[in-house]
């Protein structure tokens, strides 16, 4: 988004401000579809659960990866607008409940929708069989997460060697395992993770078939990286490698799902904050702004992400520290930003901050989250 537009919006609406560009959302969705024509997109809502973002992807034909009942209902509110006769069959086409561990209360509520849910252990099978027997299952595998910004394999995923036994265990509990799922880790810049996971999945498909279990779908998860900097590999190159292995190892009859999140929304988010304080500490210029890590910059803490702040003004720069508004020393956005000499009430902005940012905002210390503005809807 142009600097001029960001500055105009900040002056009009005040700060802190979080701006979502829906034109960019649509462009990212189209780009993913172009490079993965065989894959059905299930947007990972946890990345940014704003209902307007969900609705934009819904209107484009997208499906959704949900991990809580709140996220489920965000999507279901859109589904409820359909004619009654279309709603029930629509759930599978538009929602996968991809949290492998689910409370009993959640399973009881989900059961009437006959959902597709993930699992990765014996206890979860028993819970699903008892409380959501109408669900279809996808077995989540533990796969390599090497080089990903946030690894997930230590928390979720069945070992490949126990996969078919778990499929058989679910069958004995009168459940149907529809297919497999995996996640290579968030912001995965290592294509080998995807390749190894696809190979593991193909082996399990073959072993399952030899034992009488016909799997129908493969969910290749998320992890598709946003282009934060030059170190991120070209998306087209990553897609080419993944598509080659999918087409080589899985017949066209197998449904392929993916759960992109960061890739779809990161570049669509922009943050604008105002300088509310200024000081020199340890011979370094320090700026204090009205947004921070308890708000839009929460990804610094929860997502291991680095965000850069830019000035709307030109001039010689120096290494500066930038702090958020709360009284907590943890509320540090950066200790090494190249910024010019600025004054109180001047503005700073950050690009590519649409993912894992505003979604985790709090009211800590009495400071409210940034106001959210949607443009180009």
Each residue of 348-360: pLDDT tens digit? 999 999 999 998 9
Q: What domain count does the chain have?
A: 2
pLDDT band at 14 (very low <50, low <70, confident <90, very high): very high
Q: Give this prediction's pTM.
A: 0.94
Measure the CA–CA gap between 25 and 266, rounded to whole angstroms.
Answer: 9
Average pLDDT over residues 143-169: 89
Instruction: Verify that 193 and 283 share a domain, yes or no.
Output: no
The residue-averaged pLDDT of 20-48 equals 97
Residues 293 and 206 in one domain: no
pLDDT the model gives residue 76? 87
Whether residue 90 has pLDDT greater than 60: no
Domain identity same for 237 and 249:
yes
CB 322 within 8 A of CB 283: no
The answer on pLDDT for 88 being more than 90 is no
Q: What pLDDT, in 10s, does the model give residues 66-78?
A: 999 999 999 988 8
For 158, which DSSP code?
Answer: B
Q: Which domain holds residue 329?
A: 3-18+268-375
Q: What is the pLDDT of residue 94?
A: 86
Label residue 326 by pLDDT band (50, 70, 90): very high
Contact between 330 and 362 under an 8 Å Cβ cutoff? The reply is no
Q: Which residues contact 76 (CB under 8 A, 6 or more apart)?
A: 95
Among 265, 281, 296, where does a domain finish?
Answer: 265
SS3 at position 309 = coil
What is d(CA 83, CA 300) in angstroms, rounded to the nearest whole number? 43
The whole-number pLDDT of residue 83 equals: 65
Same domain for 244 and 346, yes or no, is no
Percent of residues in the chain assigned helix, strand, coil, to nearest 5:
40, 25, 35
CA distance 299 to 310: 17
Instruction: Say yes or no to pLDDT of 293 above 70.
Output: yes
Which residues does the annotation mark as catalytic? 327
pLDDT at 86 over 90: no
Residue 230: the pLDDT is: 86
The verdict on 59 and 10 lying in the same domain is no
Rounded distance between C-alpha atoms, residue 365 and residue 215, angstroms: 50
Q: What is the mean pLDDT of the chain?
A: 94
Instruction: Examine the domain organization and report whether 177 and 293 are in the same domain.
Output: no
Query: Is a pLDDT exceeding 60 seen at residue 89?
Result: no
Q: Note if the bond before 16 is cis, omega within 30 degrees.
A: yes
The share of the chain scoring above pLDDT 90, in percent, equals: 86
Question: Does residue 366 come out as left (phi exceeding 0), alpha (psi in the -120 to 50 range) or beta?
Answer: left
According to the model, what pLDDT value does residue 218 have?
98
Structure tokens at 249: 């190892």
């Amino acid at each position: 988004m142009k600097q001029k537009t960001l500055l105009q919006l900040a002056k009009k609406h005040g700060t802190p401000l979080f701006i979502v560009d829906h034109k960019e959302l649509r462009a990212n969705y189209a780009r993913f579809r172009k490079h993965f024509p065989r894959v059905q997109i299930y947007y990972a809502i946890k990345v940014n659960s704003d209902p307007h973002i969900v609705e934009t992807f819904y209107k484009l034909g997208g499906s959704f990866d949900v991990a809580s009942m709140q996220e489920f209902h965000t999507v279901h509110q859109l589904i409820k607008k359909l004619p009654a006769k279309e709603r029930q069959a629509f759930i599978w086409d538009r929602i996968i409940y991809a949290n492998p561990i689910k409370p009993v209360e959640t399973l009881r509520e989900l059961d009437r929708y006959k959902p597709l849910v993930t699992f990765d252990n014996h206890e979860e099978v028993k819970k699903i069989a008892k409380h959501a027997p109408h669900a279809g299952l996808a077995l989540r595998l533990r796969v390599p997460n090497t080089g990903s910004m946030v690894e997930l394999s230590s928390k979720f995923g069945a070992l490949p060697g126990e996969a078919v036994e778990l499929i058989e265990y679910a069958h004995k509990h009168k459940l149907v395992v529809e297919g497999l799922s995996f996640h290579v880790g968030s912001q995965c810049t290592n294509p080998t993770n995807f390749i190894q996971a696809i190979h593991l999945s193909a082996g399990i498909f073959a072993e399952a078939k030899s034992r009488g279990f016909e799997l129908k779908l493969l969910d290749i998860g998320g992890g598709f990286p946003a282009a934060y900097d030059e170190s991120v590999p070209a998306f087209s190159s990553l897609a080419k490698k993944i598509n080659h292995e999918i087409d080589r190892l899985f017949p066209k009859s197998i449904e392929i799902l993916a759960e992109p999140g960061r890739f779809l929304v990161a570049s669509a988010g922009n943050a604008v904050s105002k300088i509310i304080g200024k000081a020199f500490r340890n011979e370094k210029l320090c700026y204090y702004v009205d947004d921070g890590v308890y708000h839009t910059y929460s990804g610094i803490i929860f997502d291991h992400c680095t965000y850069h702040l830019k000035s709307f003004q030109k001039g010689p720069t120096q290494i500066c520290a930038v702090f958020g508004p709360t009284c907590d020393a943890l509320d540090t956005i950066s200790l090494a930003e190249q910024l010019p000499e600025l004054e109180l009430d001047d503005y700073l902005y950050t690009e590519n901050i649409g993912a894992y940012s505003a979604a985790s905002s709090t009211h800590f210390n009495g400071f409210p989250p940034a106001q959210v503005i949607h443009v180009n809807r």
